Amino acid sequence: MKRDFIFTSESVTEGHPDKLCDQISDAILDRFLQQDPYSRVISECAVSTAIVFIAARFDSEARLDFPNIARQVIQQIGYDQQTFNAKTCSVLTSLKEIPHDVSCAFDERKMPDEEMDRITVKNQVTVFGFACDQTTALMPLPIWLAHKLARRLTAVRLQKFLPYLASDGKTQVGVEYRKGRPFRLHSITVIGSQKLASEKGGPDLKKFTDDIRETVIGPVFQDEELKPDDQTRIFVNPDGPFLVGGPSIHSGLTGRKNAIDTYGEFSRHSGAALSGKDPTRIDRVGAYVARYAAKNIVAAGLAEECEVQLSYSIGLAQPVSIYVETFDTGRISNEEIAARVKRVFDFRLAGIIKQFNLRYQPSIVKGGFYRKLAAYGHMGRMDIGLPWELTDKAHLLSKN
């Protein structure tokens, strides 16, 4: 187990170019599944100055207006600058219908258990799930706080508390650990982009710093157990004014923020992107069920910290291996925990889709389901009611 150290995680706002791409990709997925729950979709996006490029492969009965979806997302996020906005940006598409695969058109809701064994995965991947008791959401504290700062940075912009803010922003939190436990806040960084003075006007750096401290940093830590102290290093736009930001300054790409999507590098994560993939992709949904297992292990009191590794091979229904690591915090052995996990959880593709109702979530959740995951993390989200954040299996794991 790690003992005395400083660990730092970062987050970004929904207006960051990479997150913009993730949200466009997942908004497309939502629209497909709303019309046809059996759609198979791979949607990827890239953005740069005044241009959006969408590459999608799909097998579906649905019909989508891809450019319109992209423009809606851009507008909702708030990009209205001259160099990048929903009305004037060019949207290029490369669309391809893939052959229909009858083996993916199964109805997991009506499928007998023995038939689920015949539903195999089409991708090879190793995924990781992690949980720890550092926060109420059982997430590592650095990424939890970084996400809170990023969400607050967006909130003060949308609520017009700081109307000069632009959509693109970054946050970073460093936590000092003693004997493996969070001890104090080492550093806090908030970088917010500002609109050009010629457009809306904006404050000088000192006023900007004071505004961010008062409206963003202060409220975020008001109810946190760890608060900034006299030694906490606080940085607000330390390199000076960050004007406009977004695709006109730095390009974006779907799937380039895996650490932000998961555990802020406190735990391992798969190299596979999460956004833009339909529920039959085990490299996406496998990461969700691994988090589900890890969170229930910690919730059951079997460990203070836990990582679950699942490895899948093409053509098989079950993972080829399941590995549990508790970093010397386990109440029982890792091997015993792994044995209980295998008995309690269904790691088969059809079982995961059924357990989490993944084909139908976009029709249930207002405003789309997968797009909501594409900013501020796929794990630890307590604002959506994610099925893999439940701890309903903890009591089963506690039984011998």
Choose one of 245, 277, 300: the last residue of a domain.
245
- Percent of the chain with pLDDT strictly greater than 70: 98
Residue 219 φ/ψ, nearest 5 degrees: -65, -35
pLDDT above 70 for 367: yes
Boundary (domain end) residue, out of 191, 220, 245: 245
Structural domain includes residue 117: no
What share of the chain in percent tops pLDDT 90? 90
Measuring CA to CA, how many Å separate 320 from each of 3, 121, 228, 285, 311?
32, 11, 45, 16, 6
Same domain, 237 and 359: no
pLDDT band at 196 (very low <50, low <70, confident <90, very high): low
- Residue 319: which of 294, 349, 293 has the closest Cα? 349
Does residue 144 sit in the same domain as residue 283?
no
Answer whether residue 201 is part of any domain: yes
**Do residue 279 and residue 387 come from a single domain?**
yes
Domain count of the fold of the chain: 3
Is pLDDT above 60 for 199?
no
Q: Where are the beta strands (DSSP E) in 241-396?
A: 252-253, 305-312, 321-325
User: Is residue 84 located within the same domain as residue 171?
Assistant: no
Residue 100 per-residue DSSP state: P
Q: Is residue 289 part of a domain?
A: yes
Q: Please tell me whether residues 40 and 161 are part of one structural domain.
A: no
User: What is the pLDDT confidence band of residue 202, given thresholds at 50, 70 and 90?
Assistant: low
Binning pLDDT at 50, 70 and 90, where does residue 298 land?
very high
pLDDT tier for residue 245 given thresholds of 50, 70 and 90: confident
Does 231 share its domain with 354? no
Together in a domain, 273 and 211: no
pLDDT of 400 > 90? The answer is no
Query: Could you tell me if 221 and 265 lie in one domain?
Result: no
Distances (CA, A) of 170 to 9, 344, 380, 387: 11, 39, 19, 28
Angle at 218 between CA 78 and CA 178, to 5 degrees: 115
Same domain, 228 and 310: no
Q: Is residue 64 part of a domain?
A: yes
Q: Same structural domain for residues 217 and 298?
A: no
CA distance 400 to 394: 12
How large is the average pLDDT for residues 143-164? 96
54: containing domain: 18-106
Contacts of 218 (CB under 8 A, 6+ apart): none
- Mean pLDDT calculated for residue range 118-141: 97
Judge if 238 and 361 occupy the same domain. no
Q: What is the pLDDT of residue 240?
A: 80
Average pLDDT for 33-53: 97
Average of per-residue pLDDT values in the chain: 95
215 and 292, same domain (yes or no):
no
Which of 178, 182, 190 is closest to 140 using CA atoms? 182
Position 60 in a domain: yes
CATH of the domain at 192: 3.30.300.10
Could you tell me what percentage of the chain is helix, strand and coil, using 3-state DSSP and rounding each to the nearest 5?
30, 25, 45
- pLDDT band of 1, cuts 50, 70, 90: low
Res 73 pLDDT > 80: yes
Domain boundary among 184, 217, 245: 245
Please indicate, yes or no, if residue 252 is contained in any of the structural domains: no
Residue 201 clears pLDDT 60, i.e. is over it: no
Q: Is residue 111 part of a domain?
A: no
250 domain-assigned: no
Is the pLDDT at 198 greater than 50? The verdict is no
